[in-house]
Structure 1
């Protein structure tokens, strides 16, 4: 093991050193999403977002990294392909015994946190969370097969369909744990009718951050696309509210954001 890691020591040490700091930067958009969704930002939510970001970066690091330092020499002597037999793990267990069992178990455990976080913190439906885990595993295996999408000149790890099955199973276990935690320890419900008429400093900072601008524009585009596909266009008042009010809470007039019902007629058009 020491001889194997010595080939990758410098890049691997650099990745480990940068891991916590990069996680802090990537936690910001997750915290913005949680703040916009819940209209508050609890310490446990920030800790959960940071832990999830730390886990995702670690997942990518340990499944795709490190790679051999001498690409020409490695690719000349190694020709790795894809293992597409979904029952190959049975033969591996017969041949390697405990080693193959531990590898299968680790592939399952590796995706349990992802399923848990998606179900517990991000509150995705169970089938969506499992699908995200499966898609993530497929992307990892394709990246291994293509040398991180041709960033490396050849495949340096084996693409195994059994890994996708084991990862998806682990994600499903994590989703089940998250759903159990949601029932056993439910989060306090938020009254959606309460409107922040005087947003504080934290809300103003979040509303004016680049991440909020990007998220609000993406959400706006998704709503417009879904409305056009379904044939139900948004009214101008509703479109303005969806574009402006959720992002800031103070940049719109009170009549537009808070004082006028969705379908109420204006004063100019009202009779008498």
Structure 2
């Protein structure tokens, strides 16, 4: 049992790390396709990711202690089993079950050959459920996808984890392909039993009124992160204050005005800036992003640049500048926290400019 528990433990440990890396692209995809993030859909997809991770680790773990696997194997070690349904022969050879004595049938649950066959049958059963319920695949596509995933697992073993090891440390077994695919078939058949009491995947977005939804801070952060990731690709933007100021003006003021409220990040997150009227005025955009980038961020940059320039000659001035920066940032942070607590989606620079984020 520990053989199966150990890979699942490793999957549970590494899943949060993997989830962290995919959260931004996953969220952007959800915003682009659906216009919002459905919590139930997120739960389904992340559970599917965790399942795939567990299945993969069950196939490759535990890893050998050395990459020189060949030296640990006897001459003529078999790396592939290509006889179909060979597991039945193994089961008949090893079983202690007496077919005319039903009281012995329980013994089969403790036998290696049966447990191994049962594990391979169960391994991809959840995939059949996911493919039918969420991804809306028919039986033929479910069988094909399950077979290909099983083939990927077997090739992973046959290649010694893609060449990391100099010989396979687990056998390529044709029966595994058969049993894994059969497990996907069973999963497809029993999917309605598991999904009867949960919403159908094609109805998750019914009765969702996108214009009435508020633009949350997480969504705004993704747009903000995307925009600054793009600007970060511009060479030497941080080394020249004038260049950075010009870039901010072009991207966050001029572009937003010309596109009526959109940057690339906002476009991907399906949000835009709205003013008093349907058409944004240049004044509204300039006040909004002038306060944010030339005011808040600009003051911080100037203050910390002054600290770097005068950190030796004018120690007293440096302390004063640091205190000013800390007070300004602390006030902004408190304002942000209070806005989150009160569920007020308009920050101070939005209130001054009479602008807000809406779903586009």
TM-score by length of 2: 0.49
Distance 1:189 1:45, change over 3 A: closer
* Contact 2:31 2:269 survives alignment (8 Å): no
Query: Which residue of the partner structure matches residue 176 of structure 2?
Result: 163
Whether 1:65 and 2:39 are equivalent positions in the alignment is no
Deviations 1:45-70 (A, max 9, x none): 22222222111111111101222112
Match in the other structure for 1:21: 16
Structure 2 residue ranges without an equivalent (≥5)? 96-107, 230-263, 280-360
Among 79, 90, 113, the alignment partner of 1:81 is 79
Kept in 1: contact 2:128–2:183 (CA 8 A)? yes
Larger RCO (CA within 8 A; separation ≥ 6): 1
* Deviation for aligned residue 1:115: 1.8
Change in 2 beyond 3 A, CA 1:58/1:17: closer
Q: 2:270 maps to what in 1?
A: 249
Question: Which of residues 112, 129, 136 in structure 2 aligns to 1:116?
Answer: 129
Whether contact under 8 Å (2:32, 2:269) holds in the other structure is: no
Higher-Rg structure is 2
Query: Quick check: 1:93 aligned with 2:91?
Result: yes
2:142 aligned partner: 129
| Correspondence for 2:205 | 190
Other structure's SS at 1:71 match: coil
SS at match of 1:155: coil
Q: 1:45 aligns with which of 26, 41, 46?
A: 41
Long gaps (5+) in structure 1: 214-242, 256-272
The number of aligned residues is 217
Q: Is the 8 A contact 2:31 2:37 kept in 1?
A: yes
Q: Distance in 1 between matches of 2:167 and 2:143?
A: 30
Structure 1 residues 52 and 190 mapped into 2: Cα distance closer, same or farther (>3 Å)?
closer
**Aligned CA-pair RMSD:** 3.9
2:200 counterpart of 1:200: no
SS at match of 1:103: helix
The answer on whether the counterparts of 2:90 and 2:113 sit within 8 Å (CA) in structure 1 is: yes
Partners of 2:194 and 2:11 in 1: how far apart?
Answer: 31
Assess if the C-alpha contact under 8 Å between 1:115 and 1:172 holds in 2. yes
Q: CA deviation at 1:75?
A: 1.2
The offset of 1:27, in angstroms, is 5.3
Contact 2:31 2:268 in 1 (8 A): no
The TM-score normalised by the length of structure 1 is: 0.63
Alignment of 1:209-224 (within 5 A): none
**What is the SS of the residue equivalent to 1:137?**
helix
Counterpart CA distance in 2 for 1:121 and 1:209 is 30
Distance 1:61 1:24, change over 3 A: same
Question: Which deviates more, 150-159 or 57-66?
Answer: 57-66
Relative to structure 1, is the Cα distance of residues 34 and 167 closer, same or farther in structure 2, using a 3 angstrom cutoff?
farther
Superposed displacement of residue 165, structure 1:
0.9
Query: Aligned partners of 2:267 and 2:80: how far apart in 1?
Result: 47
Matched with 2:312 is: none
Alpha-carbon distance, 1:194 to partner: 6.5
Assess, with a 3 A threshold, how the Cα gap between structure 1 residues 190 and 102 changes in structure 2: closer, same or farther.
same
Q: How far apart are the structure 2 equivalents of 1:125 and 1:71?
A: 41
Task: Give distance in 1, aligned partners of 2:123 and 2:56.
Answer: 11
User: Cα–Cα, structure 1 residues 124 and 245, in superposed 2: closer, same or farther, change >3 Å?
Assistant: farther
